[in-house]
């Protein structure tokens, strides 16, 4: 595998945003499909990059996927507590799936979290249907933290996100 994980360049933001948006749309992860308000957040990589670290998986100059790494205390955190980093918006282009791209992106986030002074763990949220991602998280040592599951849209009961954590 000749895949390189590195920080996204500004000229790749649109590509990363579209890979992320399409992954969520094609996998049925947005409750309101094309009209889902979260779609704009998924596509706005520039906004994420201004507040966190956006990593990409690249092979021969082609972006295969991306992830947002939020260092401990970062403003992009949804669920991270003090001393925790967070992984957000992990997505791999459909054509690149099954090649270890997602796992490589998660590993890179774990390495970055270990390098953050005072960071004791890393957390992430995932949807119930993301079974392939759940297997990756388990393989890398993440465990479920059901007491931290949460709902980003409280008035919709069926959107509870599962929480995973890894002690560093």
Q: What is the pLDDT of residue 36?
A: 82
| Two tokens, residue 97 | 């799936």
Q: What is the pLDDT of residue 43?
A: 96
Could you tell me if 152 and 159 are in contact, meaning their C-beta atoms sit under 8 angstroms apart? yes
Mean of the pLDDT values across residues 67-71? 97
Q: What is the pLDDT of residue 152?
A: 80
Q: Nearest 10 degrees: CA dihedral of 53, 39, 20, 43? A: -50
Q: What is the pLDDT of residue 41?
A: 92
Model confidence at 29: pLDDT above 90: no
- Which residue matches tokens 């390189």? 4
Mean of the pLDDT values across residues 64-90? 94
Nearest-angstrom CA–CA distance, 157 and 131: 20
Mean of the pLDDT values across residues 57-70? 97
Task: Say what the pTM is.
Answer: 0.93
How many folded domains does the chain comprise? 1
Model confidence at 154: pLDDT above 70: no
Beta strand segments in the chain, E:
4-7, 53-59, 62-70, 84-92, 121-126, 143-144, 162-167
Q: What is the pLDDT of residue 155?
A: 64
Domain of 95? 4-167
Mean of the pLDDT values across residues 3-27? 96
Q: What is the pLDDT of residue 157?
A: 60
Q: Give me the CATH number covering residue 90.
A: 3.40.630.30
Mean of the pLDDT values across residues 97-105? 96
Model confidence at 6: pLDDT above 70: yes
Mean of the pLDDT values across residues 140-144? 98
Residue 79 pLDDT class (50, 70, 90 cuts): very high
């Amino acid at each position: 595998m000749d895949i390189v994980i590195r920080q996204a360049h500004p000229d790749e933001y649109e590509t990363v945003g579209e890979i992320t948006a399409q992954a969520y749309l094609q996998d049925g992860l947005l409750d309101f499909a094309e009209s889902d308000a979260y779609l704009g957040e998924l596509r706005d990589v520039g906004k994420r990059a201004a507040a966190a670290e956006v990593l990409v998986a690249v092979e021969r100059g082609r972006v295969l996927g991306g992830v947002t790494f939020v260092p401990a205390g970062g403003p992009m955190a949804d669920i991270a507590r003090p001393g925790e980093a967070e992984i957000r918006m992990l997505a791999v282009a459909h054509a690149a799936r099954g090649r270890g791209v997602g796992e490589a992106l998660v590993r890179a986030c774990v390495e970055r979290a270990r390098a953050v002074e005072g960071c004791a763990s890393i957390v992430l949220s995932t949807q119930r249907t993301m079974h392939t991602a759940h297997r990756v998280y388990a393989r890398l040592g993440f465990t479920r933290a059901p007491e931290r599951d949460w709902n980003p849209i409280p008035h919709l009961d069926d959107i509870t996100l599962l929480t995973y954590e890894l002690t560093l």
